[in-house]
Amino acid sequence: MFSEKIVDWWVHLVIRYCNVPLIYINNFGNFINFSFKIRRNTSILTSIASVYKSISGKLKRVIPDRLFYLLIIINVFRSIDVLYISNALRSHAINIKYRSKHKETVLVNSSFHDTSIVDDLTITEEYIVFVDGMLPDHGDQIACGYTPIDRHIYYDRLDHIFSYLENKTNKEVVVCLHPKYDEKTCIEDYRGRKAVKNQTQSYIARASLVLFHDTTAIISAFIYKKEVVHLVGSIFNDFQQNLFNQYDKFKLNKVDFMSDTELEKVIQNDEISLDRTVVDEFIENNVVTSGRKNETGYSQIIKDLDFRYGLSKKCMDNNPSIKLRQD
């Protein structure tokens, strides 16, 4: 578990010195591409402050990234031999923009697709699922200088929304916690409701409705054709607003986080729907990218690595009783 951050550059030096092949696996089907836009109707001073926050935050990420790329070009670090990726559009962009950084990109199916095949999850409609985005505490917005929503306002409002839905539908709300969420405050924040970690996809498969702010786990809702409500609103900062905008392409039902009227309208009038044409296109380009629905991305990676580096032969040479699994 190492990165391209400066703190881990010594690992890349070791890799370069030992001449070890470097393989990256990025098969989550991620579609977030953050770009900053200033909100309308803001004062000049607020706009200037927002631009400064955006630029300073971006430079903290961009400068080390560009230095890392330069060190590859001048042969201090080893370039990435193979990048396994499930985002077809990003793969194309990488091949154009970072030709020296990645020798080759290979399209494989997403890990979300893998889970839907391997785990054979039960598909029901017994829960309402909220996918936690940790909005009051998420480090990215804080690192970029943005003030998060007040946690007391946020969790009080969530409780109100959850209670409304539970009363209307007679279904339990289950919270799928963000991986970095501190569970010490879970009972207080979510008022004792059922909260789980690292089980998001299995609970989405059992949901009649999925609520979220910002999460790649929404891909699971698309796979299982679940009804989705996107909780947004002007109460959130510009950092979050720009992340919210990434989902506009799916034409999801958006509900103002602070509006009872909008929530009631969507639920009572049954206005929850997905644009299946857009979602199906997304799945084709980000989830089942190889075009082979019956294969997991990891089996595709293993087979390709075996072909490139003869892994099965090496395993057999070292121990004839061992055979590399390809399932």
**What are the pLDDT digits (tens) for 27-86?**
876 665 555 454 545 556 666 666 666 666 666 777 888 899 899 999 999 999 999 998
Q: What's phi and psi for 326, nearest 5 deg?
A: -120, 20
pLDDT on residue 257: 93
Which residue, chain included where needed, has tokens 């979300």? 112
Residue ranges of the chain assigned to CATH 3.40.50.2000: 119-283
Nearest in space to 176 (alpha carbons), one of 114, 109, 226, 117: 226
163 is written with which tokens?
């209670």
Q: Global pTM?
A: 0.77
pLDDT on residue 294: 86
Q: Which residues of the chain have pLDDT under 70?
A: 1, 29-59, 144, 269-274, 312-327
pLDDT on residue 271: 59
Q: What class is the 119-283 domain?
A: alpha beta
